């Protein structure tokens, strides 16, 4: 069994996920659109894919996503991978983010849908307004080809493009995709990917940040 699988073999802390058939807040009160609640559990990638297949089009994360160190690290990684995958499937979600001392962490996460609130951030309203006004689909994505992986990253405004074709790097990305222990990836590769802003880390764990593009919202060369 690989280290990546072991990282998520246990259940994360009980975080409730509220589910709806529609993404429009104006109609979510209609009883036929509610799909109940389930806890965060299992493989976060498989969970997101299953929700999409079941017709879920909006998810509300029932606990703040705490990047300050106040949340179990494995639960945090589970939620970050889950939000990444929901974005990949174009499923809307509602979440609250606690950023902690790293007030600029949002600049690495602004390819995800903006949170509803950032209660501990001193400039929360200004950050959220900027995040909302600059958010769009495919802001930081990857796509897989035969023997290579391409990343297109516009989180900083300009396009940064990476083509990964080294077998060791491809293996590292595959390991990090569902979340993994940091020591399951060669340290020099982990450091390089982290420095490029492609990997997030917390305690002894790490995860891949760009999401897979499944449908181009515009011609691919524009993205």
pLDDT digits (tens, 9 = 90+) for 45-54: 999 999 999 9
* Comparison of pLDDT for 136 and 220, the residue scoring more: 136
Give 3's pLDDT tier (boundaries 50, 70, 90).
very low
- Per-residue pLDDT at 4: 43
Does pTM top 0.85 for this prediction?
yes
Query: In the predicted model, is pLDDT for residue 168 greater than 80?
Result: yes
Least confident span in 94-98, 116-120, 157-161, 211-215: 211-215
**Per-residue b/e over 52-67, b at no fewer than 16 CB within 10 Å?**
beeebbbbbbbbbbbb
Which strands sit side by side in the sheet containing 58-61, from one edge to the other? Answer: 34-39, 16-20, 58-61, 92-94
DSSP for 125-151 reads HHHHHHHHHH--TTSEEEEEETTEEEE
3-state secondary structure of 160: strand
> Per-residue pLDDT tens for 16-65?
999 999 999 999 999 899 999 999 999 999 999 999 999 999 999 999 99
Whether residue 2 is predicted with pLDDT greater than 60 in this model: the reply is: no
Element (H, E) at 180: strand 180-181
CA distance 127 to 109: 12
Triad 40, 208, 7: Cα angle to 5°: 50
């Amino acid at each position: 069994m690989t280290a990546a699988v072991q990282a998520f073999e246990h259940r994360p802390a009980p975080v409730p996920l509220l589910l709806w058939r529609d993404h429009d807040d104006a109609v979510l009160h209609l009883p036929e659109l509610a799909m109940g609640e389930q806890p965060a559990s299992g493989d976060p990638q498989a969970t997101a894919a299953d929700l999409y297949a079941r017709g879920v089009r909006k998810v509300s994360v029932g606990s703040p996503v705490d990047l300050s160190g106040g949340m179990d690290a494995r639960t945090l990684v589970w939620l970050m991978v889950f939000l990444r995958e929901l974005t990949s499937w174009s499923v809307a979600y509602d979440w609250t983010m606690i950023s902690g001392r790293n007030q600029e962490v949002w600049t690495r996460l602004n390819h995800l849908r903006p949170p509803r609130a950032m209660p501990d951030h001193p400039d929360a309203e200004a950050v959220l307004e900027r995040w909302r006004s600059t958010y769009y689909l495919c802001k930081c994505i990857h796509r897989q080809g035969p023997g290579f992986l391409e990343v297109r990253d516009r989180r900083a405004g300009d396009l940064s493009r990476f083509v990964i074709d080294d077998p060791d790097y491809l293996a590292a990305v595959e390991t990090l995709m569902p979340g993994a222990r940091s020591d399951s990836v060669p340290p020099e590769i982990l450091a390089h990917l982290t420095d490029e802003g492609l990997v997030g880390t917390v305690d002894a764990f790490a995860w891949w940040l760009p999401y897979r593009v499944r449908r181009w919202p515009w011609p691919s060369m524009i993205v």
